[in-house]
Chain A
Amino acid sequence: MTRTVLIRVASLVPLVILASFITFSLLQLTETDPAIVRLGDDATEEAYESFREQIGVNDTFVVQYGRWLGNAATGDLGESWNGPNQVSQLLKERLSVTFSLALGGLFVAATIGMVLGIAAGVRAGRATDSVITAAASTGQAIPNFWVGILLVAFVALPYDVFPATAYTGPTESVKDWLISITLPSIALGTAAAAAIARQTRAAFVRVLHEPYIRTALSVGLSRRSILYRTALRNASIPVVTSAATLFGVLLGGAVIVEAVFAYPGLGSLVLEAIQNGDLPVVLGFVFVAAVGVALVQLLLDITYTVIDPRTRVS
């Protein structure tokens, strides 16, 4: 098991590094001059030049990227062009909001989606299934930030249970944190739950056609045991596999949904950075997102090897 985990880690690290390299290269396309970003329009050419020298943008591309990557490995994502702040510090302050929402969304999506998907799969071809399938097809089309807007307009503002704008960090109060991420998580999770429900149903139906289900039946196992042990475990494999991609989608969605609730997350930080031409922050943002997705992927990979022993490395 340890070995399996180590091998998964070893394959995810190069992926994240390559992702950072691609983003780093991409941001070289910009015409933004960091010296102007920091010093404004009216500084002297010498001042500009010495600033460029100081932050190292005059070095070759390879040297710049090598330095960035070396620092990133120690948790240092460089200095913001816009001010003396460390990018990692800026991101750290905002990280909790966006990741809380994305994980909350994943939780909502996974629980609701699995339950509905199983309910539909078990009763496939009957009324329950038709209703759930129709609801899932519909739910998948609802834009998450619009759900957020509606929740703010029709739930948070009229009733005084959930905050419309105030985010509370989990370190301050777990209860308030949970309350503050409930509505955004629902907003994010709705369409994702619909997607998981459809996927679970499809996987379930496919598994029920496998010959080993017939064997289980012929051996005399109960319907319950076949559905909820044999079939469910087999059907959950494709769902778990795709959940990492879904987490990426939710992380992107969280950037927009947090704007609906005016939560101070990565989204508002990066929007400000784009307006200011503060590219190290943008790069840091992409890097953090990629690392986040990779970590979730790792967790899911481990779950996956628990469910499906065939994937274990021996």
Chain B
Amino acid sequence: MTVLATADGLTVRFKRRRSLTALRPPPFTAVDDVSFELTSGKITAIVGESGSGKTTVARALLRLVPFEGEVTVDGVAVHDLPTYPGLDYRRRIQAVFQDPLQALNPRHSTEQLIGEPLRVHGHREPTEHSSRIDELLEHVGLDAELRPRTTRELSGGQRQRVAIARALASEPRVLVLDEALSSLDVTTGTRVARLLRALVDADNAMLFIAHDLALVRQLCDEVLVMHDGRIVERGSPDDVCERPQDPYTQRLIAAIPDPADALAR
């Protein structure tokens, strides 16, 4: 097990809009002093509700927002990188977002979507790209016949599998999943979750951003609970879910609806 990513004192502040009534508004702190490690072979979850800052953590790791503190990914110091960090960094970390209809260019076909990272990173000879696309599709449980389709012509689950294949194309060490199952139906979500479990191995680590603590308990190996920009609780899924220490985590757990509750009534 190797540590593939670290965050130390990660803080993200957003400027507020200046107006005639507030010339120097204080910045809004979306993420406040967050630290964690991602280790290979593990899925680490950040759980929180809207406004908790969990997505901003993911965006900081992906170098999409400026941040304070120290972040490393696969040995690269992210805090020293420019806004457009270049391919050497990008190939180490990839992401899958919540809504594939929005996160994938609507004009591009499956083939173009998966081919783009292959071309950009130039991992292999262009002649090999086509067979590599088929390989990646196979890897995520899709048929090669979907290659010409655009995202609109795919089902929700297929779209998200395409997004995963695209993310895997550059063979990243870290995969960030930002609410990647939230827009899917529950049965489809379960299938894609099984796929994620199958894809995590000794060479990579996953960061799973979610609002659903029950799903996280079944899927992940490590949980961080975020509330108002801070991590309020962390630990193994069973520990956090069975012996929550923080009142917010307790509320979150109490709020999980369960089919078995039908029997309790």
Interface presence of B127 (CB below 8 A): no
Distance in angstroms from A11 CB to nearest chain B CB is 8
Tell me, in angstroms, the Cα distance from A10 to B20 when the chains sit together: 9
**Chain B residues, CB < 8 A from A11:** 20
Tell me, in angstroms, the Cα distance from A313 to B21 when the chains sit together: 9
Tell me, in angstroms, the Cα distance from A11 to B19 when the chains sit together: 11
Closest residue of chain A to B21 (Cβ to Cβ) is A313
CB contacts between A and B, total, < 8 Å: 7
Closest residue of chain A to B20 (Cβ to Cβ) is A7
Number of interface residues of B (CB under 8 A): 3
**Chain B residues, CB < 8 A from A313:** 19-21
When each residue 9-33 of chain B gets 1 if its CB lies under 8 Å from chain A and 0 otherwise, what string results? Answer: 0000000000111000000000000
**Chain A residues, CB < 8 A from B19:** 313
Tell me, in angstroms, the Cα distance from A10 to B19 when the chains sit together: 12
Tell me, in angstroms, the Cα distance from A313 to B17 when the chains sit together: 14
**Chain A residues, CB < 8 A from B21:** 7, 313
Closest residue of chain A to B19 (Cβ to Cβ) is A313
Tell me, in angstroms, the Cα distance from A313 to B20 when the chains sit together: 10
Interface residues of B in 34-86 (CB under 8 A from A): none
Tell me, in angstroms, the Cα distance from A7 to B22 when the chains sit together: 12
**Chain B residues, CB < 8 A from A10:** 20
Distance in angstroms from B125 CB to nearest chain A CB is 50
Distance in angstroms from B128 CB to nearest chain A CB is 48
Closest residue of chain B to A7 (Cβ to Cβ) is B20
Distance in angstroms from B240 CB to nearest chain A CB is 37
Tell me, in angstroms, the Cα distance from A57 to B44 when the chains sit together: 73
When each residue 109-123 of chain B gets 1 if its CB lies under 8 Å from chain A and 0 otherwise, what string results? Answer: 000000000000000
Distance in angstroms from A284 CB to nearest chain B CB is 30
Distance in angstroms from A5 CB to nearest chain B CB is 12
Distance in angstroms from B16 CB to nearest chain A CB is 15
Distance in angstroms from A15 CB to nearest chain B CB is 14
Tell me, in angstroms, the Cα distance from A136 to B21 when the chains sit together: 43
Closest residue of chain B to A314 (Cβ to Cβ) is B21
Distance in angstroms from A9 CB to nearest chain B CB is 11
Interface residues of B in 203-244 (CB under 8 A from A): none
Interface residues of A in 5-33 (CB under 8 A from B): 7, 10-11
Distance in angstroms from B19 CB to nearest chain A CB is 8
Tell me, in angstroms, the Cα distance from A289 to B5 when the chains sit together: 61
Tell me, in angstroms, the Cα distance from A11 to B20 when the chains sit together: 9
Distance in angstroms from B18 CB to nearest chain A CB is 13
Distance in angstroms from B118 CB to nearest chain A CB is 41
Distance in angstroms from A62 CB to nearest chain B CB is 28
Closest residue of chain B to A11 (Cβ to Cβ) is B20
Closest residue of chain B to A6 (Cβ to Cβ) is B20
Tell me, in angstroms, the Cα distance from A11 to B21 when the chains sit together: 13
Tell me, in angstroms, the Cα distance from A313 to B19 when the chains sit together: 10
Tell me, in angstroms, the Cα distance from A78 to B19 when the chains sit together: 36
Distance in angstroms from B23 CB to nearest chain A CB is 13
Distance in angstroms from B233 CB to nearest chain A CB is 36
When each residue 298-314 of chain A gets 1 if its CB lies under 8 Å from chain B and 0 otherwise, what string results? Answer: 00000000000000010
Tell me, in angstroms, the Cα distance from A10 to B21 when the chains sit together: 12
Tell me, in angstroms, the Cα distance from A73 to B1 when the chains sit together: 74
Tell me, in angstroms, the Cα distance from A7 to B21 when the chains sit together: 9
When each residue 236-269 of chain A gets 1 if its CB lies under 8 Å from chain B and 0 otherwise, what string results? Answer: 0000000000000000000000000000000000
Distance in angstroms from A147 CB to nearest chain B CB is 42
Distance in angstroms from B17 CB to nearest chain A CB is 13
Distance in angstroms from A146 CB to nearest chain B CB is 41
Distance in angstroms from A97 CB to nearest chain B CB is 37
Distance in angstroms from B21 CB to nearest chain A CB is 7
Distance in angstroms from A266 CB to nearest chain B CB is 34
Tell me, in angstroms, the Cα distance from A7 to B23 when the chains sit together: 13
Tell me, in angstroms, the Cα distance from A14 to B203 when the chains sit together: 59
Distance in angstroms from B216 CB to nearest chain A CB is 31
Tell me, in angstroms, the Cα distance from A10 to B23 when the chains sit together: 14
**Chain A residues, CB < 8 A from B20:** 7, 10-11, 313
Distance in angstroms from B11 CB to nearest chain A CB is 31
When each residue 146-186 of chain A gets 1 if its CB lies under 8 Å from chain B and 0 otherwise, what string results? Answer: 00000000000000000000000000000000000000000
Distance in angstroms from B162 CB to nearest chain A CB is 30
Tell me, in angstroms, the Cα distance from A148 to B228 when the chains sit together: 64
Closest residue of chain B to A3 (Cβ to Cβ) is B21
Tell me, in angstroms, the Cα distance from A183 to B34 when the chains sit together: 70
Distance in angstroms from B202 CB to nearest chain A CB is 49
Tell me, in angstroms, the Cα distance from A225 to B20 when the chains sit together: 38
Distance in angstroms from A220 CB to nearest chain B CB is 32
Distance in angstroms from A77 CB to nearest chain B CB is 29
Tell me, in angstroms, the Cα distance from A298 to B20 when the chains sit together: 17
Tell me, in angstroms, the Cα distance from A313 to B22 when the chains sit together: 12
When each residue 273-299 of chain A gets 1 if its CB lies under 8 Å from chain B and 0 otherwise, what string results? Answer: 000000000000000000000000000
A-B contact pairs, 7 of them (CB 8 A): A7-B20, A7-B21, A10-B20, A11-B20, A313-B19, A313-B20, A313-B21
Which residues from chain B sit less than 8 Å from chain A, CB to CB?
Answer: 19-21
Instruction: Give me the 5 closest cross-chain CB pairs, A-B, nearest first.
Output: A7-B20, A10-B20, A313-B21, A7-B21, A11-B20
